[in-house]
Amino acid sequence: MRTQVAIIGAGPAGLLLSHLLHLRGVESVVLETRSREYVEKRVRAGVLEYPTTELLREVGLGERMDAEGLVHHGISLRFDGADHRIGFDDLLGKSITVYGQQEVVKDLIAARLRDGGELRFEVSETTVHDVSSDHPRVTFTDAAGVASELVCDVIAGCDGFHGISRPSIPEAVLTGHEHIYPFAWLGILAKAAPVRDELVYTRSERGFTLYSMRSPEITRLYLQVSPDTDLTEWPDDRIWAELHARMAIDGGEQVNEGPLLEKSVTPMRSFVASPMRHGRLFLAGDAAHIVPPTGAKGMNLAIADVKLLAEAFTALLKDNRSELVESYSDTALRRVWRAEHFSWFMTSMLHLDPAADEFQRQLQLSQLRYTASSTAAATSLAENYVGLPFS
């Protein structure tokens, strides 16, 4: 089999890259280990930055997002027993949209299939070869168990943090920068009406919580737990009791309780692989970098990477111009490091580090109070949260 771009992974990065290339007349094949049903049901991110929503609309993927997504004009930081609102509309005239990642993935799969795109689900043993030549290859076993080969011009490694693309780059070529946090997030999706219509990030002496939502009937909540958390130690009533205790403020409303539809634990790490390219293999999204989820940046970064990559591949494959593939890694890493800093900043400001002393706790509270009371500090948070322009 032959194509122009072999894409490994059908997450937001791989699927959107395939769609953007199609719009520019470049062929691709997407290889994915999981089933279509699995990737369409995987509950993860929820916040789309302003530039992400504009891009999705521009490329014909905005219809359901605009009908069903929830537009938010601010967030609240809850600390010192009160809510402190950061208004994106007042500060910047911009907004973010809450629309589940799995909905973005469903829209992308529907668009690719409608346009005759080639998506191969349930493949195994994906391996990349000859990335230093002009004709790299990907070998894999297809869903029927048949060994197959895809010859291409370039490979996009969009296979997430645990994929095969990044580890296939020789250690001498790639530097990994990593920071592990001493906590994790326990996330739940509950069939319960949200009690308010904006997100609340709470710093409490019992640990961090995040209040979010997916629809007028579904609430999404996260709470800081230790990284070795065993979910069996967190029956539903313990989760609700802890959420109420952490979010309690004078006169403040409680969260509505309801049956849990999903429950999972996510470790928190920061990671950047540099460079994001080796020969004709290009990394994008979580395959190249991870942020802790506090700033809601992961999926948005994946989308920013593939916007660049689609432009670079088109220039190379249609016009024989290589300068954009040459600059891809440096250009992408600038945005990646900004989001890494913002995600680290939000995480450090809001979580309770079990090893922190009173000095560090006072610094944390001082930063929160400054952010809530200074227009300059609030604008800086808002500008990063809604997403900096793509270029």
Residue pair 8/31 in contact (Cβ under 8 Å)? The answer is yes
Residue pair 236/223 in contact (Cβ under 8 Å)? The answer is no
Q: Pick from 8, 86, 111, 152: which binds ligand FAD (CB under 6 A)?
A: 8
Interface stretch with ligand FAD, choices 31-39, 336-344, 365-373, 375-383 (CB under 6 A): 31-39
**Residue 255 found at the interface with ligand FAD (CB under 6 A):** no
Q: C-beta of 302: minimal distance to ligand DHB in Å?
A: 14
Our answer to whether residue 275 is catalytic in this structure is: no
Our answer to whether residue 385 is catalytic in this structure is: yes
**Residue 190 found at the interface with ligand FAD (CB under 6 A):** no
Catalytic residue among 289, 297, 307, 351: 297
For ligand FAD, the closer of residues 148 and 369 by Cβ is 148
Q: Of 99, 162, 107, give the one whose Cα is nearest residue 296.
A: 99
**Residue 44 found at the interface with ligand FAD (CB under 6 A):** yes
**Residue 10 found at the interface with ligand FAD (CB under 6 A):** yes
Catalytic residue among 50, 99, 201, 222: 201
**Alpha-carbon distance values, 321 to 216, 241, 307, 313, 317 (Å):** 48, 59, 17, 9, 8
Q: Show contacts with ligand FAD in window 58-77 (CB under 6 A).
A: none
**Residue 223 found at the interface with ligand FAD (CB under 6 A):** no
Our answer to whether residue 106 is catalytic in this structure is: no
Tokens 């490994």 -> residue: 8
Q: Show contacts with ligand FAD in window 90-109 (CB under 6 A).
A: 101
Characterize 13-29 residue by residue with b for buried, 16 or more Cβ atoms within 10 angstroms of its Cβ, and e for exposed.
bbbbbbbbbbeeebbbb
Interface stretch with ligand FAD, choices 59-67, 176-184, 293-301, 337-345 (CB under 6 A): 293-301
- By a kind-dependent CB cut-off of 5 to 8 A, residue 292 interacts, out of ligand DHB, ligand FAD, none, with none
Q: Pick from 17, 32, 313, 368: which binds ligand FAD (CB under 6 A)?
A: 32
Q: C-beta of 107: minimal distance to ligand DHB in Å?
A: 17
Q: What are the residue numbers of the active site?
A: 72, 201, 293, 297, 385
